[in-house]
Amino acid sequence: MSASFQTASLVRVRFEPLEAGFHIYSLTLPARGIDGLGIPTRVATGDGLTASGPARSTVDAISLHIPELHVTLPVYPDGPVDIVLPVEPDHPRDSAVIVTYGACSDDVCLMPVRDLSVPVN
């Protein structure tokens, strides 16, 4: 994962799986998941930044139906996903974003990442 200024007022966070076949959950997934399933993707401002709007994805979420659990979850397609966050930089040299996400494949879910501070380059 990496974070960078796309423009002076827009931070891009790239989620890129280390292995093929992994996806992350959508920004639209409720905070507690659906029926307790799923870790919603969140990108928030950390040091040196103030949000000036909501985070949004550059790709559309898809519906992942899991028949065994009788649930459908909003996820991004397998592969890299960019989340952009409009910001007002307070101290751009020492900026960071705070990210939370869960990554899964068809067979396994990795340990969720919660409230990780990522420097913005």
Per-residue pLDDT reduced to its tens digit, 63-96: 999 999 999 999 999 999 999 999 998 887 889 9
pTM here is 0.92
In a domain, 46, yes or no: yes
Q: How many domains does the chain have?
A: 1
In a domain, 119, yes or no: no
DSSP per-residue string spanning 13-63: EEE--SSTT-EEB-TTS-TT-BTTB----EEEE-TTEEESS--EESS--EE
The domain of 21 spans: 2-109
Percent of the chain with pLDDT over 90: 90
Question: Which CATH number characterizes residue 56's domain?
Answer: 2.60.40.1250
What average pLDDT does the structure give for the chain? 95
